[in-house]
Structure 1
């Protein structure tokens, strides 16, 4: 069985490159980041997927090849209400198409069933903790929750989608049974996921662990009892690794699993990929590998994909500029130029005194204005400098202190007649 998937994620608003998962939230491929988008970020996502299966059939005594096509289109919206809370909605319409080969005779294709596979609403909350801004190093904790609905097929629209799906499941076209899996509606599914991020320098790792409680599957009225299989509950789990060699590219690796609680079986998908980003758009290239999947007869399958994503910031952020100036320098001995540990005060200002480092260096910031800097150290004569500072000034002020002169007098006090030593007070 040949399987091929193509996922294309595009948006009509190409304003700021985003990092949107297939499911529409801030994340990698299937898994999510703990930290939501910044407040006001609006994202639109659209992810088509097409898969076909080829099989040989007999027509007019000759062998020809027909195809079964499965097409779905995940679309949705997400919006960050605050820096810590993000909401989303998505729907997945689908289409089944039977492609009849026109050799050795023209047969035509039956009208395809069209419907909505699921509707989902969800929300995510998360908070970023910064450990070191210089490295940088940070971690984030978050939680995601969602409700997923499985609506039935319409009998009024899309040329009676319910009837068409029934025909694709049970009827035959030109004497050939199509054997399409039927669409099974269901009661709402409920899921939640705990999220964790850790970043240090150009490296990042992400962890997801959650639970999916599936709703009761409903027979649409034309499915055999033997083909009805209630979906189990799942424990979902994922780990993602990122390497950021530059601001424009990310190397991604994701492992996503679903543990069948009833059958104690694990499904596992591994996805390596690249994410390219610019100011206006970002896109992913990757290949999803099905390593363990009880729902598929084969032990291994794959699908390649390309994702495009973008969003718009609907909240205009006003950056507040705080005027600041900086003075730095070194305090040394005027003759030897050895570093001096000095105390620097600011007469006429409420700014706290500072000390130089053991190497004599100092650095401090000011609001624009006029200041006096007083440099003092034990056994040295103090110095004072005045300066007028403007916003953005970066002034280097090196100071040389003169050592205090010390004269030493040594002598003896004694009686002039007896020559005996005396205890005397010298003033």
Structure 2
């Protein structure tokens, strides 16, 4: 390699590029597979439609990895860093919440609205990111995790024996696996649960068809736009800017590049938004750039962005191979529910981790968190709380995630302006990824 070539711009020979790309795929593939299966099971999609949705999601993940790794300079899209793009766990949770209350067509419309909204607000990135310190993001993520645990639990209850056995398998994998394999514990748990289902005689519904197929466009019909229903995803889109700030610093330091969030974060978010427009078309949730594969970079010491670009190509190929997507789409509901409980419980724990960056002994921080959690938890524990309000108010306050996030933003701003000063620790943008 020429001394003039930065490690992040090194183009590796194919014999090294392909195996390294496969490692990145293994590190990231659990997120799209588990997310799609959760969506399909919750929405009671057919086996064919589930396979199509998984195909679309893998293709979108691949396109996102290519955009972030290679970039399109003339459009200022992509950070030209070794990033993967995945469906965020929190975004999937919000998508399912909207779909459950207003229907999947409205959920798809909300994804399109949120993606377009993110593109529009990027010029104001510097001001907006300050609205989402760890105090606000932590509260929001905790509410997302708790809300989706409530949604996912009935899936386990549909076959508690198989569901709890799958939980045990996932826990065992987390215990014994290391490195990239440990990152795949949930995916391997899904496979293990499916093996248990076969051994216990559980009926599997595997779709049939050719070897290659293109995913279905607008699987729920024409997307329906409801701005109030989209509020939770709009809040998430804004919060993703703070998430991207931390990821940019983390990834830049990992590859030896001087972090420049002011330049790179808008490019990252622009790629997220463009791929998310595709998500709305193909019926899945918002896509977000992920730092899950940074461990692979640190483990292998290979910093080349062309490795994640090759991983993007592999993801696209996997998405178009319909036998693979059809088998994955046949995983039984209790197995999916068990994986969902683990995923969303981890999301809640990540939220508590964000909150730990604030000084909870400080009166201002603890009061803001407590009040925001009250606002967000009320519609979760008592769904009929706002039944007597007008429809627009039920939409806004009936979503625990949206209500809690908005309350956290407003309360934080009010206490900063009028009350005792919020601790400095809660002002710093997060340094790790939100699911």
TM-score w.r.t. length of structure 1: 0.20
Larger RCO (CA under 8 A, 6+ residues apart): 2
Question: Which is richer in helix?
Answer: 2
